[in-house]
Structure 1
């Protein structure tokens, strides 16, 4: 008899009648090193043509035409999602704000640069509720202009045009944000297992808000900034001010910018909480297929318009929520405010004895006036002494407030785009801003013969291969693909604060820089120190390859400039200091995470793949580039030769591996019992992790010695040129 019990089962999972996925490797081995961080955004996930060039496509965009289309949309109201006050100003400002607002300066991750709000977890954060409606309202415009504008650029442009429609003279707009095509799983947003968990999970000391866990900026899982109802939902503006100061600082904003952004963001639009939050449907990722990528369905009434539910707070901040004016400070500072609850039960503040003419009209019925409201963060601008001083100045000088806000909005929405050379479009401001890390352009070119002569001079300078390689690496390794900061261009390694960083070995660095400056002074035409640093490492790698029996020309492209100290924001550059660099076997202190995990984080920020990371570690070890001339991982008797010895020894069963400390191991000869080499966890992970070992075995093979050199050179050049957006 035929068993039909599985006849209707899904063929995927062999007919299993379950919606639960089978356990993966992370379930069975939760402590195993996860290399997924190095394989994000694989080209196979990108639906655009391999030769598609976004910069060229954007340059063909009719910027004024798309802005006109946005203006028309902003001043409309769509049946499926009606606008407030007949305008989508608040909607598009908020959508852009929450796209850009996830940026944090500690690791440069988050922000508007990738259009990541389209994917989990950001598309489903409680703080991002109904930004899905903002993106869907923009879809007809995205559809019309297609590949000429990315989602990241379109959302930021929509928010900027919305402010212009409100009456603000904006500072400018730049395109150049390239979209990703699947979630950024490599971003650490916290350890919490539920949205809006208590803040104690993020602080070493909850009473000291400066102890917020690095690299986090938001105070709770699922928030962009701070809790609008107060710290852990307790209304206390002074305590909320502490959270604001830390959170906005971690976004690279000072007190004045914090006040401007908070007030300016709340000058337009309104909060939505006219209903019961518990009735809302699932978020974007959790909603069923019939909702077509829209979340938080509200079954009450129309589910939108007057029934819209977002934060749960209810009301506008200002008398004229679609107009750029000074109404926020007028209401905040002119009235006393009392604690109250929204219809949804959210904690907010409302004015006492407000004049009728100061009340905003209802968002959908102009014949009705409503009380304005303030969040705990808004009240902090009045209660905190330093914020109060700034608020009063802005109140007294509306033009100054508008200028500061316009610049802060530009910074908020462009902070993660890197140097101005990456900016696209006719609306790019001419001014160089210090947070853009400006670098002077060079006025020279180098011929092949010039480069050859410089290589010879550098190799005959008395500087060792290790010194030249380590200095070039240290200069370039600061690059972060997350926000395009750092790198060798600018030679900021010779400036504060980088010149004193422990990982840069100041004594060794000063010796190398002094010699390079001496060489520079002797040249018939000036060459930047930035180029000399990179060329010195390049020449040393080429020499080491030849010593290994492989003749190869290491590509070098001149054109790096030398930044000045005045062009360098010392405070913000402190976040680029390497706390660990497994490529050079450097770790500054003991950390909760293992050294090999910190290696993965650095490799991902540098834009490296797992094979590139592997070949670079092996090559840098035999070149003797370890921090402080440490011998861990230097598995060779011929230091300075670009051989595959690291991998040959690592995979050789003639040795035993014995721990001698938390991060140190002896490599012991099985036959004699003698210690031949020493190693760190970073070294040994290339033999212990099954994926990394598969790469190590490739480079250990006798027939791949030349391939090892070729791959090392390619990865080396990638690191050296990572910040060369002009080539």
Structure 2
């Protein structure tokens, strides 16, 4: 019986988009391709011809800086400044924006303005930083598109230090904003803020066992728990976690100590009231809150009554001045455990005279106890950190310079090479963590180089595989890796298992000699060699598409390369070459998706590249998995034609993670495959792409699209072409 329903709403109310009602809720094993489509043109409100770098170059940088400095001391009644200066708040905003960076996968960091979006905008550790962004809105509004939020946030923190007396190391404009949350970042698997730290470690007493690529100790924190490991005060134990967390951000012990001590030289923590009175985080508030969270009805326009971490107090006598006050307090007094008014563990000084205490952030007639967190006490208790602090105290100028450099690294690490930095304050010094590469020549005879490569004894497979392996290390997350620099010939890359060291050494011996003979860089010759191999394979398939090439790559040296920091770029899996170093908890197709996202590929580009590389025969170790063709070595669309051929059937191999493709009539095995191959026929979105390339009218389109995607990967790190 039909029943008429009246009064219903015609809209789905998130039924097709919310986490609880998404495709992955109903089919949790489905491969989610959303990470390949997050930051495309559909989400970006800028005009298609908008050139952000050109806009930044035209920006009146000095006027921006003057306006931001003025804003720092213009206290607003709706969120008043501590001691009349927003420096501490803006430093925390910049710090927490940059501090989400982790070296393991290069994700997080300040380079995209991602702190504006969930989950970062609502992490417990970022409480009330929404207010800092609103305080910066007048500057953002005035200077518009050319001043990205990402740039403005870091600039505000840097100018805060400058206004408080620190000689900063420099600053680079040039970050571009994203326009939605980065759902591709794995911040952890917990479903609860500040959940038990043990969830993140193989052994909580061995900080190095934290699961990669995570760097923070809790879901919702930037670094370590300021109250102690799992909220239990123990400075010696906390020091071990501080060391591991900062190391995962590419910081050594001296940089870590400098950042901790210098970060707490100014400003204060806020936890002067009852945490139960604090409202929900921004993403949980109603529309009337207009994106502001952590409402504090008892603040009464007093800076001292603001709420952030729950810890309460300043670290120094003069929290708006860069000085050595942090060390004076930490090392000249004994400290004992106490709790903040909000109930958080913290440390207070023993027998500090009233006259030595800082004044209240709102009322200069009142003096307040300073405080230290467990991480601060770690600087005193840990012998390594203590020795570094003693060095800083003996030489304040050295401390200031070390901190300024560490701050610059913290806030610029994910911008990539120095060529991406814009503006008048970019330091002249080239730093090794910027992965420097000298300029390459563009004056050599490209055709002569190609002729020498073609005349060599190297096969097309060897040429293509070497070029791919050189370029595939690129990470759009922090703009590291790639073919420029030819670091594939240096440690550690030359010895990586996935680069097939024996084959690589053979190929490089030939290509390096060609580079020497022609004046081209090795980096250019490697990419040209891949192009030569492709053009040979295209010609063998009966087509004549040329592969574009842009000369100008340089060759890095061992002295320009921090080998340890490059170890995190090692491909432990590469679905494009059907390679896995070992078995992992996630499938080959998921690892392939992660690599495709880091390379900046769309779903269609990932599809066409994999299908082409399979028929070219460039699988790791000459594996035949996924080589669905009897014309191996020719760039054809056979992978897709045979994948979608219903004359075939697909069967898992018992006891293995591979499959057999059999003739449906005879049962004979025709090919073998991995899940990274078959997902292009099983996933509905990827199958749609595969069917395009399998069509009779798209053989030429397949080659064109493959060449375009290949060139995109080869040029991913050519920032000079994007200027």
Q: CA deviation at 1:396?
A: 1.5
d(CA) in 2 for partners of 1:15 and 1:507?
53
SS of equivalent to 1:699: helix
Distance in 2, matches of 1:280 and 1:691, equals 44
1:609 paired with 2:602, answer yes
User: Does residue 629 of structure 1 match 2:610?
Assistant: no
Residue of structure 1 equivalent to 2:670: 676
Greater mean deviation of Cα atoms: 305-314 or 602-611: 305-314
- The range that moved more, 481-490 or 69-78, is 69-78
Q: How much does 1:72 deviate?
A: 1.0
Hey, what's the Cα distance between the residues in 1 that align with 2:19 and 2:617? 47
| 2:589 matched residue in structure 1 | 596
1:149-185 C-alpha deviation (Å, 9 max, x unpaired): 1000001001000000110000000011100011111
Task: Supply the distance in 2 between the matched residues of 1:59 and 1:262 (Cα, whole angstroms).
Answer: 33
Q: Aligned-pair distance for 1:653?
A: 1.7
Q: Which residue of 1 aligns with 2:205?
A: 207
Counterpart Cα distance in 1 of 2:42 and 2:124 = 31
Residue number in structure 2 paired with 1:712: 706
> Is 2:30 the partner of 1:32?
yes
Instruction: Give the direction of change, closer, same or farther, for the CA distance of 1:397–1:20 in structure 2 (3 Å limit).
Output: closer
| Residues 39 and 15 (structure 1), Cα distance of their counterparts in 2 relative to 1, 3 Å cut | closer
1:478 corresponds to which residue? 473
C-alpha deviation, 1:62, in angstroms: 1.3
**Cα RMSD (Å):** 1.7
Deviation at 1:5, TM superposition (A): 8.0
- Alpha-carbon deviation of 1:350? 0.5
Contact 2:347 2:371 in 1 (8 A): yes
Q: Hey, what does 2:559 align to over in structure 1?
A: 566
* Residues 1:531 and 2:528 are matched in the alignment: no
CA contact (8 A) 2:486 2:522 kept: yes
Q: Is the 1:267–1:328 Cα contact (8 Å) retained in structure 2?
A: yes
Aligned partner of 2:456 among 438, 447, 461: 461
Aligned counterpart for 1:663 among listed residues 654, 657, 667: 657
- Alpha carbons 1:298, 1:304 under 8 Å: kept: no
Residue of structure 2 in register with 1:726 after alignment: 720
Once residues 397 and 202 of structure 1 are traced to their aligned partners in structure 2, the CA distance between those partners, rounded to angstroms, is 38
Matched-pair contact (CA < 8 Å) for 2:19–2:25: no
The equivalent of 1:291 in structure 2 is 289
Q: State the partner residue of 2:542.
A: 549
Q: Which residue in the other structure is 2:514 paired with? A: 519
- Could you tell me how far 1:654 is from its partner in structure 2? 1.8
What residue in structure 2 maps to residue 410 of structure 1?
Answer: 408
Partner of 1:687: 681
Cα shift at 1:68: 1.1
1:644 and 2:637 aligned: yes
Pick aligned residue for 1:166 from 161, 164, 167:
164
Deviates more, 1:333-342 or 1:63-72: 63-72
Alignment of 1:10-409 (within 5 A): 10-13=9-12, 23-302=21-300, 305-409=303-407
1:697 aligns with 2:695: no
How many corresponding residue pairs? 718
Name 2:483's counterpart in structure 1.
488
- Report the Cα distance in structure 1 between the residues aligned to 2:302 and 2:669, rounded to whole angstroms: 72
CA distances 1:344-371 after superposition (whole Å, capped 9, x unpaired): 1110001101133321110011111111
Where 1:45 maps in the other structure, the secondary structure is: coil
- Give the TM-score of the pair, scaled to structure 2: 0.97
Query: In structure 1, what is the Cα distance between the partners aligned to 2:55 and 2:277?
Result: 44
Superposed displacement of residue 4, structure 1:
11
Normalising by the residue count of structure 1, what TM-score does the alignment of the two structures yield? 0.97
Cα distance in structure 2, aligned partners of 1:268 and 1:721: 43
Contact 2:302 2:362 in 1 (8 A): no
Distance 2:641 2:635 in 1: 13
Unaligned runs of 5+ in 2: none
For residue 70 of structure 1, report the CA deviation from its aligned partner. 1.2
C-alpha separation in 2, matches of 1:622 and 1:15: 42
* Closer/same/farther in 2, CA of residues 568 and 330 from structure 1, 3 Å limit: same
Cα distance, 1:444 vs structure 2? 3.6
CA contact (8 A) 1:459 1:539 kept: yes
Whole-Å separation in 2 of the counterparts to 1:104 and 1:574: 14
The equivalent residue for 1:504 is: 499
Q: State how far apart, in whole Å, the 2-side matches of 1:33 and 1:547 are.
A: 35
Distance 1:394 1:332, change over 3 A: same
> Quick one: distance in 2 between partners of 1:100 and 1:75?
23
What is the deviation of 1:441? 0.9
Q: Secondary structure at the match of 1:205?
A: coil
Structure 2 residue 580 is matched with structure 1 residue 587: yes
Secondary structure of the structure 2 residue equivalent to 1:668:
strand
Query: How much has 1:628 moved relative to structure 2?
Result: 0.8
Take 2:150 and 2:338, find their aligned partners in 1: how far apart are those partners? 37
Could you say what secondary structure the match of 1:656 adopts? strand
Matched position secondary structure for 2:488: helix
| Unmatched 5+ stretches in structure 1 | none
Structure 1 segments, 4+ long, off by >3 Å, are 3-7, 13-16, 19-22
Find the aligned partners of 1:713 and 1:148 in 2 and give their Cα distance: 33
**Other structure's SS at 1:296 match:** coil
* Alpha carbons 2:79, 2:301 under 8 Å: kept: no
Q: CA deviation at 1:694?
A: 1.1
CA distance in 2: counterparts of 1:240 and 1:484, whole angstroms? 32
